[in-house]
Chains A and B, each alone.
Chain A
Amino acid sequence: MIPDLGQILFYSILFLIVLSSYWVVMSPNLLHSAVSLLFTLFGVAALYVYLYADFIAASQVIIYVGGILVLIIFGVMLTNNIDDPKLSNQSQNQLIAGVFCFILLVFQFQIIFNTNWNVGSLVSRDSTVNDIGNMLLNKYLLPFEVVSVLLLAALIGAAMLSRKKTD
């Protein structure tokens, strides 16, 4: 029997996400954490492809990998002493936090597997871009404008915070 290749790819993507996000939180080197976050974000984009969310997958790759991750690596390079990478990414209280997070994970699994989810019929569809564009300019017009004003405010605020003080 030939195993389903899509299934195998799906489980290897899940494995990649778990492994790389583990290395994001446990790596002793901050730059390794940032590069590991790249693989996590790509894995999440691949999950979106499995969920028929083509536009979200593309914007995940463009915004997260192309924008936010570059910004984070920029911050790492500007603020850390690269000559001492072992001390750049210390952790504390790992035992207590590990126990707490394990309990949190058990609770979440309890909820996930004991709830009777109301799953509808699995329809497949082609591109979602058309519908997303229509909804953004009809039903969600006000939140769209508010979010654009917030993005402008964040842009001005970031420029104001990081300029040189001249007075």
Chain B
Amino acid sequence: MNYLESYLVISAILFTFGIFAVITRKNAVAILMGIELILNSANVNFIAFNRFGNFNVLDGHIFSIFVVVLAAAEAAIALAIIINLFKNIGTVNVDEAKELQG
């Protein structure tokens, strides 16, 4: 717990799982969960580099606050779009959404 590498390794694993979810999932909500994993891995990196670099200045913490705010905004908009998609075409499978005017 006192090594930078352990945090970077867990962040790399989270990032890879997130990419895997974005590539393989068909359901739009599951893809959104993958994006949340990616954002969390970026946050772990920010906080870890702040802790092991210069801990007297908290720039990394500020950046991770901004990332959390953007994640909240993105989740709200994405779920509104997904619910509209379900109303229009009756499914949330992203392969089925292929018409501009449904």
Determine if B40 and A40 form an interchain contact, defined as CB atoms under 8 angstroms apart. yes
Asked whether any CB of chain A lies closer than 8 Å to the CB of B97, the reply is no
Count class of interface residues, chain B: 35 or more
Q: Classify the secondary structure of A's interface with B.
A: helix
Query: Using an 8 Å CB-CB cutoff, how does the interface string of A22-65 with B read, 1 for contact, 0 for none?
Result: 10110000100110010011001001101111011001100110
Residue in B28, B32, B66 whose Cβ sees the most chain A Cβ within 10 Å: B66
- Chain A residues in 8 Å Cβ range of B84: 161-162
Complex alpha-carbon distance, A155 and B92, angstroms: 22
Q: Which residue of B lies closest to A6 (CB)?
A: B1
Contacts A78-B86, A158-B80; is A147 near B6 (CB within 8 Å)? no
A-B contact pairs, 29 of them (CB 8 A): A7-B1, A33-B33, A37-B36, A44-B14, A56-B47, A56-B61, A56-B64, A64-B36, A67-B72, A71-B79, A79-B28, A88-B27, A89-B25, A91-B24, A93-B23, A105-B16, A109-B9, A119-B4, A122-B55, A123-B56, A128-B58, A128-B61, A131-B58, A132-B65, A147-B70, A154-B72, A154-B74, A158-B77, A158-B80
